[in-house]
Amino acid sequence: MEASSWPSKAKVDEIRKTVAELSARSADEVKIVISPYRICPLGAHIDHQGGTVTAMTIDKGILLAFVPSGDSQVLLRSGQFKGEVRFSVDQILLPRNEIIESAQKSNVELDEECKWGTYARGAVYALQRRGNKLTQGIIGFICGSEGLDSSGLSSSAAVGVAYLLAFERANNLAVPHIENIEYDRLIENEYLGLKNGILDQSAILLSSYGCLTCMNCKTKEHKLIRLPKYQFHDNGTQKAYKILLASSGLKQALTSNSGYNSRVAECRESARLLLHASGNEVMEHVLSNVEPESYELHKCKLDPTLAKRAEHYFSEEVRVKKGLEAWASGKLEEFGKLISASGLSSIQKYECGCEPLIQLYEIILRAPGVYGCRFSGAGFRGCCIAFVDAARAEQAASFVRTEYRKAQPELIGQISPEKAVIICDAGDCARVI
């Protein structure tokens, strides 16, 4: 596989020109943050429990062109949303829920400008929260790969990372990637109130082209595992893979869906009961603190719902381990089967998904050349991702478009045909150019 060609030179030149005109500065002064979307082949729904996960980025994502504003003011425009976002980096920002509560008490309606600027404010909040003094705002233009917002590819984390990198560069802050993982967690957990783990931002910041990123969400340790360069089919042709993204047409932000946070709470409750049964109740109530042997001994004490959540966690840990071995050996078929098993466990044990997503998952599994498939993201809306034989990717994409249109004509009708199923390559980490 060749290195990713995203973003194109034409797109980079276009957004540089946009910011140059907006700021009355030279295009040469404009910096661009490239913040890719991520997929999680294995390690579904266990990052918030300190589990081990796998991830990689794709050649699609967020682009943020910017220049330092010369003062504390921030001015942002978007390729997807109307209006401008304006605020000052020397303001003391409050968490989003406090802003909403204050607006409700005052009978003030938050406009769309405030909503799409949330992650920019969240980035400033996170930097302030950790004692960074910001004096420079930015003048910027942000845009994402078309048709992939709310798709379960962590577009929100990509946006948060993009703003962090831009504000840090404008203020000459040298922040290690590991620290930015924590900063983006502050945006999601504290500023927005979403109880997710660190998988998304870790993948976006730590990935490397051609590698599978393995992240231990408990210890924060990570490693990059490269697919062997030369692997062959039985007929002697060289193996290569593509990544298929198939949209369900469902769009809903996680912050407006209680299903995600309730699943996290259920996992923590199962951990609490298992730790109590094993005499370790003082430990943090996450499933990574429960030894597999202790789980097997005491799982009978969990009610049916909590038992399912715990079973998903421990079986997914096993799939991750086997998947890493398969990837390192170049066994794409075996790797794919584990991905599909992860998808099935997400449906049956973690109980996420809905009829359209499950239909899409089942359709993709029947498509020619597909190694494996699962939901992308939290599984309450968005898309499915699949690894597919590169030689059969177009054929697989055509099959999925046709069959999903039969199953969900109304939902697929909301998506432009060229965006319903997209063929991607692996990407690289977030960076400033």
Residue 328: the pLDDT is 95
Q: Residue 233's pLDDT is what? A: 62
**CA–CA–CA angle 148, 409, 356 (5° rounding):** 65
Active site residue 428: no
Q: Exposed (0-12), middle (13-18) or buried (19+): which is 208, by Cβ within 10 Å?
A: middle
Q: Could you give all domains of the chain from N- to C-terminal order, each with its CATH number?
A: 9-216 (3.30.230.10)
pLDDT for the residue numbered 254: 43
Alpha-carbon distance of 179 to 89, in angstroms, equals 20
Record the pTM: 0.85
Among candidate residues 207, 247, 170, 179, the one with its CA nearest the CA of residue 41: 207
User: Mean pLDDT by 10-residue block, N- to C-terminus, for the chain (433 residues)?
Assistant: 74 97 96 95 93 94 97 95 93 68 52 73 94 95 78 80 98 94 92 81 91 92 87 66 91 58 94 96 95 97 97 98 96 97 96 91 98 82 90 96 93 80 93 95
Give the pLDDT score at 1.
44
Catalytic residue among 59, 200, 425, 428: 200
Residue 89's alpha-carbon distances to 74, 85, 93, 338, 419, in angstroms, are: 7, 12, 9, 46, 37
- The answer to whether 274 touches 299, Cβ cutoff 8 Å, is yes
